[in-house]
């Protein structure tokens, strides 16, 4: 008796970068692709940290399953993150597929195309960041950009330090990060 190998489930992942964006179009495409489970979240793609729905989907996936995204940039924006995800999936025996791109890590051509797309996604992120920094510099030169307003009062930090309080205690009292207190104290010195 010859058993047919288990093809596994198609598991969909949708992501939007900000709360004013919608994942409905991605979710519909993933459902149309046959995904039995679809997880979505609104988080930046520049980091894997805080991407709880993606982590849940990867933990849920079993050998033979395929994680499906509409486009690779929905999954990762850096080569390092993309490579780490693909390696993690391969170790579990899980494939990765994109509905709008010829990406399918179960084939050599799909893996090659995935690597090329990863390079372009990282390049796009770097270009966007450069443009943002150029815009900020122009706004500063024109006197229209002042930066973010200070969240802690430097004088209060110095006063508490003069009273003999340590950075940890000052940070707790003001509800700020200890690193911010250290930075402010080192700038003052």
107 pLDDT band, cuts 50/70/90, is confident
- Is 66 domain-assigned? yes
21 and 65 fall within a common domain: yes
Q: Mark whether 19 is an active-site residue.
A: no
113 and 160 fall within a common domain: no
Residue 128 has pLDDT above 70, yes or no: yes
111 and 168 fall within a common domain: no
Which is catalytic among the residues 17, 18, 78, 186? Answer: 17
Strand order in the sheet with 37-42: 37-42, 10-16, 66-69, 95-98
- Find the domain containing 167 and state its range: 154-188
pLDDT at 188: 67
């Amino acid at each position: 008796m010859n058993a047919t190998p288990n093809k596994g489930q198609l598991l969909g992942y949708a992501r939007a970068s900000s709360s004013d964006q919608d994942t409905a179009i991605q979710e519909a495409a993933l459902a149309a692709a046959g995904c039995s489970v679809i997880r979505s979240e609104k988080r930046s793609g520049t980091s894997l940290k805080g991407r709880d729905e993606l982590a849940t989907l990867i933990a849920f996936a079993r050998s033979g399953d395929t994680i499906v995204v509409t486009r690779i940039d929905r999954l990762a924006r850096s080569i390092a993150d993309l490579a780490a995800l693909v390696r993690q999936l391969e170790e579990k025996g899980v494939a990765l597929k994109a509905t709008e791109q010829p990406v399918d890590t179960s084939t050599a051509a799909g893996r090659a195309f995935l690597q090329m797309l990863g390079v372009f996604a990282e390049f796009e992120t770097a270009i966007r960041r450069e443009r943002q920094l150029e815009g900020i510099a122009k706004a500063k030169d024109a006197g229209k950009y002042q930066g973010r307003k200070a969240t802690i009062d430097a004088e209060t930090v110095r006063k508490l330090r003069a009273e003999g309080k340590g950075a940890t205690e000052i940070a707790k009292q003001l509800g700020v990060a200890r690193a911010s207190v250290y930075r402010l104290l080192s700038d003052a010195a």
